[in-house]
Chains A and B, each alone.
Chain A
Amino acid sequence: MTDYTALKQKVAELAVREWDTEAIAGRVKKLMRQEIPRKKLDPKEMKANRATILDRVQRRAEEYNFIFKNCAQGTAMALLEEFGLGNMEVIKALTPFPGIGGTGEICGGITGSLIAFGLYFGSDNRLDYEAMNKTIAISQKFMAYFEDAVGHLYCADIIETLIIGKKLNPGDSEASMQSFAESKGFEKCGLPPGLGSRLAAGFIIDSMK
């Protein structure tokens, strides 16, 4: 059940947060220079540190969203970094995905998470239909939980009910974008990347055997 009171408190916290932009930019530059380091994931260790990992992924997704001004990239960056997946080309490819091309469609907190699922659960064998079905099934379940946690799947609905409190498409015009920025939209829009990446990281850790 969506807890709108808690969500609005979180949005308010994001709006007044002091962002260490220098440190966040430093991390991003390092990843651009050195690429995303591969990791040997120890299921036992991951499960033991589940809460810490989820807190870290959520925080980083909020920070990356803020510095990129892009929820899909922010979400994916936090997940790919945490689990040692993919590369910075994947992040680049996500450039047009906030609200699917800025149309107000599916939230980037979802697309960024699904990209990570594809990299983690998908197979290098394009003819491995079992892996494809499993990845789609996990993605669908994730979307069910995302909708339950955030209340919506669509960018336009999230902006209206949680982020700004009125209908606004930042991609509509320069004036809309300015209004979104002045309403601290980029800060507040860390909510879905944070919650999405947190849920996605939980799904990945829980799948580990």
Chain B
Amino acid sequence: MSRIELASQMLEVDEHGFMQETKKWTEDIARAYGAKEGVQELTPDHWKIIHYLRDYYLANKTCPMVRKLTRDTGFTLKQLYDLFPEGPANSACKWAGIPKAIGCA
């Protein structure tokens, strides 16, 4: 584990930059992650996905599979890649402040 500063907060992250203390997440942290990947402004579509992922994670302690994410939010997988440069697992989950999904999911 290492620590990085994002949105004026020191955060514990894994080797891929995923937050380990999800309760410390703020919307400014999501914006800062987005900026690091070249997305300067988060749109309502970004927030819809980010809040869906956070709510799902906090309720289930796991990330949803992509098929569930697309079905529940109405976005296609391609639209998710257009919104989040590294895709739902590597960008959206990171920006939502939840730990990196492990294994085949």
Q: Please report A residues at the B interface, Cβ cutoff 8 Å.
A: 132, 136-137, 140-141, 143-145, 147-148
Residue in B66, B78, B81, B89 whose Cβ sees the most chain A Cβ within 10 Å? B78
Residues of chain B from 21 to 54 with CB closer than 8 A to chain A in the complex = none
State the majority secondary structure of interface residues on B. Answer: helix
Residue in B66, B76, B88, B104 whose Cβ sees the most chain A Cβ within 10 Å? B76
Q: Please report B residues at the A interface, Cβ cutoff 8 Å.
A: 66, 76-78, 80-81, 86-90, 104
Residue in A136, A141, A144, A147 whose Cβ sees the most chain B Cβ within 10 Å? A144
Inter-chain contacts of B81 with A (CB < 8 A): 141, 144-145
State the majority secondary structure of interface residues on A. Answer: helix
The A/B interface has a contact count, at CB < 8 Å, of 27
Inter-chain contacts of B89 with A (CB < 8 A): 137, 140
Inter-chain contacts of A140 with B (CB < 8 A): 66, 77, 87-89
Inter-chain contacts of A145 with B (CB < 8 A): 78, 81
A128 to chain B, nearest CB (A): 14
Q: Does B66 contact A148, Cβ atoms closer than 8 Å?
A: no
Separation of A137 and B87 alpha carbons in the complex (Å):
8
B70 to chain A, nearest CB (A): 9
Separation of A54 and B19 alpha carbons in the complex (Å):
40
Separation of A132 and B80 alpha carbons in the complex (Å):
22
B76 to chain A, nearest CB (A): 6
B90 to chain A, nearest CB (A): 6
* Nearest 7 Cβ contacts at the A-B interface: A144-B77, A148-B78, A144-B78, A144-B81, A147-B77, A141-B87, A147-B78
A111 to chain B, nearest CB (A): 16
